[in-house]
RNA sequence: GGUCCCGUAGCUCAGCAGGAUAGAGCAACAGAUUCCUAAUCUGUAGGUCACAGGUUCGAGUCCUGUCGGGAUCGCCA
């Protein structure tokens, strides 16, 4: 069964159609005047304007046509042509029961399901993840959860950055530090040691060192460029090093991602499509898409209609090296070939600052007939800023590592929990740690996701970890309180039963429940997780108001108590489901 | 300089193909606990939606311009 808003929209669309007007005017949404109505339809005004009719008359005719619907208690025309609809207590009760019973908690699968590859625009193997990677991880992961929940077929790929100049920096810097390693002996034919010559700390140190030197020293930069060209050309020692770098890096990445509840189907990277690159370049040449320019091979992606300048895409630079434009294109080829059935869409969850890059790649992919430009999508997001409004830095001015950020959140969550001192005295230490981690993850993920994806936001750990306000911890508290309530009622032998919607608080709560499916569909369509956050927060608030207004387990009347317990159960089901879609796990107690 | 995004309450932010009295959270103030987790709830106060024009019966929302902030603009990713 679909939600009330959708059912009412359908009824109104029918009514519009019967008046010879377009169905689209039938859109029904929650009323912004709760004292007047539960839902409203504003289509009478727009459609009347278009058809040259009187809006109030159109509205009145609509009202007459939908008044008989079973869900509807009353319909009124107000103001210039608003349709104010109240639904019956019975309809609300039926909805609440559906939320309680259905696996999807009142939501329904999307109509236009797709086979989607989700590319997380991977972290760079040469450097540890920093705060910026929090966003792609958390937004991308939430999108993959929402997509799957609504029926899309998703293949997620972390897609590591392991092929560009940064690898040249690493190789050459390591050679400076330890020139004696066999990897640097061009005569050596192998085999190479199984033990990596570097630790994750080494990687974290080597790259910034090299990068800093290269910026001021032309010759140093040239050595990195040479190294990466040799790596890409297949020099065995360098390849062996690359393998080590990736393995060391991935082990660390997995820890950070695991902490944040983020998982991928594929751990591919740029280097995985290395063997496709020569063929790709050849293909582009044959098709006449690529042309030579200053020793480089480029693709002109600009168009007549462009308002801004589109620099050509560089397929191969003048030194024979390839960058991420080329690997991204080769990856498209790889996915279309190796994934069956072929993906219908590829979605890239990457920093908004790379918008131009993706526009170039998408155009080139389309030109070469790899996949239509309309099937490629860049889901950009804003930066995580410090209190000064600039991208977040540590006090020393460096970037903050994601692992440090996670640790800070964990510590702060533990501190706040100790302060509140609400955990049962008998809770074992291990469970305490577990709860602290769940609170920390809830804080981080919710804080990030509740922002509109495209805007920047200011990172404020103290605010994010607070149990008050629109925060992850508040959401957990609301859910845990229901668990505790139901557990206690169960202990006393009180079972949830048939839901009746009697009070204003109960009406509001069920109306909140009813919005789940719509919020999910909107979040999916716009790729905007904050819409789901808004819903979950609103639901938690509505439950808290209900909780404050009525006794539930303590209600004396058995039927009413059973109903309220049933309603609580419905709320818990949807709340936990919604939080899980946000990648947030709810503890049993806290 | 070109292009794009942003400017809404003291602070952090929502605002859905233009629609009724612009909403949350925090902070402030006033209340609520012999009773289910008060890590909560209820209420009050707080806004010429940067500014100026335009389209419209109606504009925070669409168009134009101005001011302020940010991002980006060929061999880095």
Q: Which nucleotides of B are covered by protein (CB under 7 A)?
A: 2-6, 12-17, 19-21, 23-27, 35-42, 57-58, 69-77
Q: Which nucleotide is nearest, taking the CA of residue A470 and each C1'?
A: B25
Rounded average pLDDT over A556-582: 97
Strand-pair partners of A85: A39, A75
Tell me: the pLDDT tens digits for A320-344? 888 899 999 999 999 999 999 999 9
Lowest-confidence range among A3-17, A263-277, A384-398?
Answer: A384-398
Taking the stretch 10-69 of protein chain A, residues with Cβ within 7 Å of any atom in nucleic acid chain B are: 22, 24-25, 27, 29, 31-33, 35-37, 40, 42, 45-46, 49, 55
The pLDDT score that the predictor gives to residue A186 is: 86
Order the strands of the A153-157 sheet from edge to edge.
A153-157, A115-119, A345-349, A376-379
pLDDT digits (tens, 9 = 90+) for A56-72: 999 999 999 999 888 99
Q: What is the pLDDT of residue A1?
A: 59
Read off the pLDDT of each residue in A443-467 and give the average, rounded to a whole number. 93
Strands A28-30 and A290-293, sheet pairing: unpaired
| Residue A526 contacts strand B, CB under 7 A | no
Which residues are bridge partners to A290 per DSSP? A299
Q: What is the pLDDT of residue A9?
A: 94
Q: What is the pLDDT of residue A216?
A: 82
CA dist., res. A49 & res. A525, Å (int): 29
- The reply to whether the CB atom of residue A535 sits less than 7 A from any atom in nucleic acid chain B is no
Would you say the C-beta of A469 is within 7 Å of strand B?
yes
Return d(Cα A376, Cα A533) in angstroms, integer.
26
Q: Is the CB of A451 under 7 A from strand B?
A: yes
Q: Is the CB of A181 under 7 A from strand B?
A: no
Quick check: A190 pLDDT over 80?
Answer: no
Report residue A265 as tokens: 């189907």
CA distances from residue A577 to A103, A557, A567 in whole angstroms, order as listed: 9, 30, 15
Q: Considering only residues 209-228 of protein chain A, which place a Cβ less than 7 A from any atom of strand B? A: 225
Q: Judge if the upstream peptide bond of residue A341 is cis by omega within 30 degrees of 0.
A: yes
Per the structure, the residue whose CA is closest to nucleotide B75 at C1' is A317
Supply the pLDDT for residue A86.
95
pLDDT for the residue numbered A574: 97
Burial of A350 (0-12, 13-18, 19+ CB in 10 A): buried
Å separating the CA of residue A43 from the C1' of nucleotide B21 = 21
A302 CB inside 7 Å of strand B: no
Q: Is A155 helix (H, G, I), strand (E, B) or coil?
A: strand
Cβ-based contacts (< 7 Å) between A 376-405 and strand B: 389
The residue lying closest to nucleotide B2, measuring its CA against C1', is A308
Please state the CATH superfamily assignment of the domain spanning residues A402-581 in this structure: Isoleucyl-tRNA Synthetase; Domain 1 (1.10.730.10)
Shortest-distance nucleotide from A460 CA to C1' = B12
Is there contact between A416 and strand B, defined as CB under 7 Å from any strand atom? yes
Subset of residues 479-508 in chain A with CB less than 7 angstroms from any atom in strand B:
480-481, 483-485, 488
Nucleotide nearest to A121 (CA to C1'): B77
**Omega of the bond leading into A304 within 30 degrees of 0 (cis):** no
Closest residue, by C-alpha, to the C1' of B26: A469
DSSP assigned state of A164: S
Rounded Cα–Cα distance for residues A86 and A536 (Å): 23
Spacing of A512 CA from B29 C1' in Å: 30
The answer to whether residue A412 scores a pLDDT higher than 70 is yes
Angstrom distance (rounded) from CA A239 to CA A330? 19
CB A372 within 7 Å, strand B: no
Q: Is the CB of A544 under 7 A from strand B?
A: yes
In Å, how far are A108, A531, A576 from A4, measured between CA atoms?
12, 18, 21
Q: According to the model, what pLDDT value does residue A572 have? A: 98
Vertex A544, ends A543 and A550: CA angle to 5°?
Answer: 85
In angstroms, the CA A478 to CA A547 distance is: 10
Q: Residues 234-273 of chain A: which lie with beta carbon within 7 Å of strand B?
A: 270
Residue A61: HSE in the Cβ half-sphere, 13 Å Cα cutoff: 19
Strands A290-293 and A296-299: antiparallel
SS3 breakdown of chain A: % helix, strand, coil, rounded to 5? 55, 10, 35
- What residue has its CA nearest to the C1' of B19? A42
- pLDDT of A213 strictly over 90: no
- Pair of tokens at residue A226: 């040479």
Section A550-569 average pLDDT: 96
pLDDT score for A321:
82
Give the pair of three-digit tokens for residue A208.
């910034």
The chain-wide mean pLDDT, for chain A, equals 92
Q: A375 by DSSP, 3-state: which?
A: helix
Cite the beta strand spans of A132-213 per DSSP E: 153-157
CA(A77)–C1'(B56) in Å? 22
Of all nucleotides, the one whose C1′ comes closest to residue A589's CA is B37
Angle (CA) A559-A562-A568 rounded to 5° is 145
Once rounded to an integer, what is the mean pLDDT over residues A100-120? 96
Look up residue A384 and give its two tokens: 């995580």
Distance in angstroms: CA A353, C1' B25: 29
- d(CA A309, CA A307) in angstroms, rounded, equals 7
- Residues of chain A with pLDDT > 90, as a percent, come to 74
Tokens of A29: 């949404």
Quick one: pLDDT at residue A23? 92
Q: In angstroms, rounded to a whole number, what is the distance separating the alpha carbons of residues A103 and A120?
A: 29
Question: Range with the lowest mean pLDDT among A19-28, A210-219, A562-571?
Answer: A210-219
pLDDT surpasses 80 at A394: no
User: Which protein residue lies nearest to nucleotide B4, measured between its Cα and the C1' atom?
Assistant: A308
For residue A14, count CB atoms less than 10 angstroms from its CB and return exposed for 0-12, middle for 13-18, buried for 19 or more.
middle
**B22 C1' – A371 CA distance, angstroms?**
43
3-class secondary structure for A55-94? HHHHHHHHHHHHCCCCCEEEEEEECCCEEEEEECHHHHHH
The answer for residues whose C-beta is within 8 angstroms of residue A113's C-beta and 6 or more apart is A150, A151, A152, A153
- Looking at the DSSP bridge assignments, the partners of residue A153 are A115
Q: Is the CB of A320 under 7 A from strand B?
A: no
Is the pLDDT higher at A582 or at A221?
A582
Q: Which residue's structure tokens are 């200011």? A: A458
Domain with CATH 1.10.730.10 in chain A: 402-581
Query: Helix A131-149 and helix A529-549: axis angle, to 10°?
Result: 80
For the segment A246-298, what is each residue's pLDDT rounded down to a tens digit? 999 999 899 999 999 999 999 999 999 989 999 999 999 999 999 998 888 99
E strands within A296-375?
296-299, 313-316, 345-349
CA–C1' nearest nucleotide, residue A474: B39
pLDDT in tens, A355-379: 999 999 999 999 999 999 999 999 9
The boundaries of every CATH 3.40.50.620 domain in chain A are 117-159+266-384
* CA→C1' distance for A47 and B28 (Å): 46
A124 three-state secondary structure? strand
Nucleotide nearest to A31 (CA to C1'): B20
Give the confidence band of A399 by pLDDT, cuts at 50, 70, 90.
confident
Q: Give the CATH number of domain A4-87; options: 3.30.70.20, 3.30.1360.70, 3.40.50.880, 3.90.550.10.
A: 3.30.1360.70
Is the CB atom of residue A353 positioned under 7 angstroms from any atom of strand B?
yes
Cα(A472)–Cα(A488) distance, integer angstroms: 24
Contact between the CB of A590 and strand B at under 7 Å:
yes
Nearest C-alpha neighbor of A414 from the set A386, A398, A434, A428: A434
Instruction: Classify A117-159+266-384 by CATH class.
Output: alpha beta
């Amino acid at each position: 069964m679909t939600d009330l808003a959708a059912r009412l929209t359908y009824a109104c669309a029918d009514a519009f159609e019967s008046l010879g007007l377009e169905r689209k005017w039938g859109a029904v949404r929650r009323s912004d005047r709760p004292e007047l109505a539960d839902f409203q339809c504003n289509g009478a005004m727009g459609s009347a304007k278009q058809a040259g009719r009187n809006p109030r008359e159109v509205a009145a005719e609509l009202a007459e046509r939908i008044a008989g619907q079973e869900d509807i208690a009353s319909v009124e025309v107000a103001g210039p042509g608003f349709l104010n609809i109240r639904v019956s207590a019975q309809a609300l009760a039926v909805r609440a029961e559906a939320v309680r019973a259905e696996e999807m908690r009142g939501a329904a699968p999307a109509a236009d399901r797709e086979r989607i590859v989700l590319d997380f625009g991977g972290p760079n193997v040469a450097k540890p993840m920093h705060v910026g990677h929090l966003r792609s991880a958390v937004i991308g992961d939430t999108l993959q959860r929402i997509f799957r929940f609504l029926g899309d077929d998703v293949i997620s790929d972390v897609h590591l950055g392991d092929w560009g100049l940064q690898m040249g920096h690493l190789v050459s810097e390591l050679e400076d530090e330890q020139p004696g390693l066999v990897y640097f002996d061009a005569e050596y034919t192998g085999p190479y040691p199984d033990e990596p010559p570097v630790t994750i700390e080494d990687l974290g140190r080597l790259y910034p060192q090299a990068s800093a030197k290269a910026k001021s020293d032309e010759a140093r930069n040239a050595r990195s460029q040479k190294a990466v060209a040799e790596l890409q050309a297949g020099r065995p020692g360098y390849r062996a090093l690359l393998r080590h770098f990736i393995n060391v890096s991935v082990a660390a990445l997995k820890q950070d991602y695991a902490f944040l509840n983020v998982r991928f189907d594929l751990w591919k990277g740029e280097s995985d499509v290395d063997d496709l690159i020569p063929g790709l370049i050849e293909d582009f040449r044959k098709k006449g898409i690529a042309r030579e320019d200053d020793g480089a091979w480029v693709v002109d992606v600009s168009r007549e209609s462009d308002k801004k300048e589109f620099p050509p895409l560089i397929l191969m630079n003048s030194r024979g090296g390839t960058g991420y434009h080329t690997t991204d294109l080769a990856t498209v080829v790889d996915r279309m070939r190796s994934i069956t059935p072929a993906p219908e869409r590829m979605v890239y969850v990457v920093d908004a600052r790379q918008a131009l890059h993706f526009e170039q790649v998408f155009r080139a992919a389309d030109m070469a007939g790899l996949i239509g430009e309309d099937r490629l999508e860049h889901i950009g997001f804003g930066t995580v800023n410090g209190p000064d409004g600039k991208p977040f830095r540590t006090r020393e001015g460096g970037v903050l590592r994601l692992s440090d950020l996670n640790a800070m959140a964990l510590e702060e969550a533990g501190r706040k929990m100790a302060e509140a001192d609400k955990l049962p005295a008998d809770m074992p230490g291990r469970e305490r740690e577990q709860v602290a981690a769940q609170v920390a993850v809830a804080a981080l993920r919710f804080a990030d996701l509740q922002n509109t994806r495209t805007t920047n936001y200011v990172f404020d750990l103290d605010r994010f970890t607070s149990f008050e306000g629109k925060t992850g911890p508040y959401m957990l508290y609301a859910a845990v309180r229901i668990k505790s309530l139901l557990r206690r009622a169960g202990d006393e032998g009180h079972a949830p039963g048939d839901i009746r919607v009697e009070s204003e608080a109960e009406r509001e709560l069920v109306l909140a429940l009813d919005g789940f499916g719509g919020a999910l569909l909107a979040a999916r369509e716009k790729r905007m997780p904050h819409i789901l956050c808004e819903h979950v927060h609103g639901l938690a608030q509505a439950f808290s108001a209900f909780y404050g207004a009525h006794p539930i387990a303590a209600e004396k009347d058995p039927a009413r108590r059973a109903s309220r317990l049933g309603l609580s159960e419905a709320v818990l089901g949807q709340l936990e489901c919604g939080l899980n879609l946000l990648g947030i796990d709810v503890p049993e107690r806290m």
